[in-house]
């Protein structure tokens, strides 16, 4: 599992020559409705074990939460499930909003 900063994720998403990662947002539904990174897939943390088969273990996955703690736990879980290319967004959607996209609400 790797850590990725908001600025590095932004550069990755802007790079047309690089395959887009799966942006897996594991926050609660109300949080996802409040603020999110466009193009993210919402699977609340508590649902990840039951829905892991919906994810492709061969794809790059960036796990996202509010500040990076829950996403770190999910990233480690995915690694144990055989996902080889998992990244945790350091600082979560909060850091994304503060450093990359000020249009995303801070809560």
State which residues form the domain around 78: 2-99
Question: 107 in a domain, yes or no?
Answer: no
- Tell me the pTM: 0.97
Task: Work out the burial of residue 14: count CB atoms within 10 Å of its CB; fewer than 13 is exposed, 13-18 middle, 19 or more buried.
Answer: exposed
How much is the pLDDT for 69? 97
Number of H helices, E strands in the chain: 5, 5
Count up the domains in the chain and report the number. 1
The 10s digit of each residue's pLDDT in 59-107 is: 999 999 999 999 999 999 999 999 999 999 999 999 999 999 999 999 9
Options 22, 37, 65, 72, the catalytic residue: 65
User: Which of 57, 47, 46 has its CA nearest to residue 79?
Assistant: 57
Q: Report whether 88 contacts 73 (CB < 8 A).
A: no
Q: Report whether 70 contacts 27 (CB < 8 A).
A: yes
Residue 65 known to be catalytic: yes
Token pair of 44, please? 């609340």
Percent of the chain with pLDDT over 90: 99
76: domain CATH number is: 3.40.250.10
Question: 87 in a domain, yes or no?
Answer: yes
How much is the pLDDT for 34? 97
């Amino acid at each position: 599992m790797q850590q990725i900063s908001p600025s590095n994720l932004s550069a990755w998403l802007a790079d047309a020559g690089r395959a887009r990662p799966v942006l897996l947002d594991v926050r609660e539904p109300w949080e996802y409705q409040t603020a999110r990174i466009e193009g993210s897939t919402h699977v609340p943390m508590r649902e990840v074990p039951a829905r892991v088969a919906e994810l492709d273990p061969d794809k790059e996955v960036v796990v996202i939460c509010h500040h990076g703690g829950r996403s770190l736990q999910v990233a480690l879980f995915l690694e144990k499930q055989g996902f080889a290319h998992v990244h945790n967004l350091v600082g979560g959607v909060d850091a994304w909003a503060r450093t990359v996209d000020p249009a995303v609400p801070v809560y």
